[in-house]
Structure 1
Amino acid sequence: MISSSFFRSVARSTQAASLARPFSRSIPALGPPLRPHSPTESALRDKLMDRLEAEECDVEDTSGGCGTFYAINVASPAFIGISKVKQHRLVNEILKEEIAGIHGLTLSTKPCDPVSK
């Protein structure tokens, strides 16, 4: 039978080893690996960019690639002067057909000043 003192000594030696080498020898990751946007992500983004004349629009499939959950962040001059609820309703109306086949959607909207092109 293994005693609890054995586990304490293993824990102490593991802590000591990690303190002895405080810096990892592996190459740090700068973030998640970049992956190409799926056709659905691109279609949602393009539709919002076109209809809202958005300055920023990020669409990400957060379902692990199966296309059931999306996170959308959009900044548009179309949102100036309207409440957050109305901003979300506007996005929902634009994506009504697409939303019918989506299980979950996280929206983040904000107004922005139009940039002259």
Structure 2
Amino acid sequence: MPISLKDLENALKNAIPISHLEIIDQSSGCGESYAVLIVSEAFEGKLTLARHRMINELLKNQIAQMHAFSQRTLTPKQYAAELAKGNV
């Protein structure tokens, strides 16, 4: 069963504090492939692998129903630096 963008958004926002969230349905609307950019203070002090494991655990039921899922996880400070460089 496809996952809706709204369900994915709600699952993330209900689990951790998020200051910025971008969700892109890369499957032309069928809900089987998503790319997300998550900016959260919950990532402070965590390496990228730990951040991704955290998100994978939070979304394990949703990810199990998808064909593909990619994520980019940043702290608010990292996000601000990426914005300043024009990388986001």
Gap regions ≥5 residues in structure 1: 1-38
| Equivalent residues of 1:49, 1:55 under 8 A apart | no
Report the RMSD for the aligned CA atoms in angstroms. 1.3
Q: Secondary structure at the match of 2:30?
A: coil
What displacement does 1:60 show? Answer: 1.5
Q: Which residue of 1 aligns with 2:53?
A: 89
Q: 2:64 aligns with which of 78, 90, 100?
A: 100
Q: Does 1:56 align with 2:20?
A: yes
Q: Which is worse superposed, 43-52 or 80-89? A: 43-52
TM-score by length of 1: 0.60
Runs of 4+ in 1 over 3 A off after TM superposition: none
Q: Which structure is higher in RCO with an 8 Å CA cutoff and minimum separation 6?
A: 2
Aligned length: 75
Which piece of structure 1 moves more, 84-93 or 51-60?
A: 51-60
Deviations 1:59-78 (A, max 9, x none): 11111111111011100000
Question: What TM-score do you get using the length of structure 2 for normalisation?
Answer: 0.79
Deviation at 1:40, TM superposition (A): 1.1
Percent of pairs identical after alignment? 31
What does 1:44-83 correspond to in 2, within 5 Å? 44-83=8-47
Larger radius of gyration: 1
